[in-house]
Amino acid sequence: MPYFDAIGSNTFYYGAEAGNSQVAKLVNNMILGVNMNAVAEGLKLGKHYGLPEEGILNLLKVSTGDSWVVRNWSDVSEWTAETALSVLLKDLIATYNEGIKHNVSMPFNALSSTQLFNSMGKEKPKA
């Protein structure tokens, strides 16, 4: 643990069971993916009504819709299939597979993994 503390600012321990930390990472990225879809779709609806994206983001930052995704949308919206989006998609699929394997229903994750690129208006990665 002291080695991890020396190189990182936040260290978390999830028990001695092998794979627990990987599951924690998948949980984090699943929530990221669901949140990205929600923000992208909300901004899409606002755009349909001619609302300024920056204005909607400013509203979200001071209301219940706030999140890391909202506060970093200018960077997140630039992610592509060749960069972070493909890694996120891989984690969303891994999370879905873990749910299937353990009979844990996660419909928002399933929807997020299929809608991620569509909701952000991005090209899907090549298979």
pLDDT tens string, the chain, 127 residues long: the values are: 788 888 988 888 899 999 999 999 999 999 999 999 999 999 999 999 999 999 999 999 999 999 999 999 999 999 988 888 888 989 999 999 999 999 999 999 999 888 888 888 887 766 5
Instruction: Report the distance separating Cα 78 and Cα 56, nearest Å.
Output: 18
119 CB neighbour count, 10 Å cutoff: 19
Q: What angle in degrees, to the nearest 10, is found between the helix axes of 84-101 and 107-120?
A: 160
Q: How is residue 125 annotated by DSSP?
A: P
Nearest of 28, 116, 113 to residue 76 by alpha carbon:
116
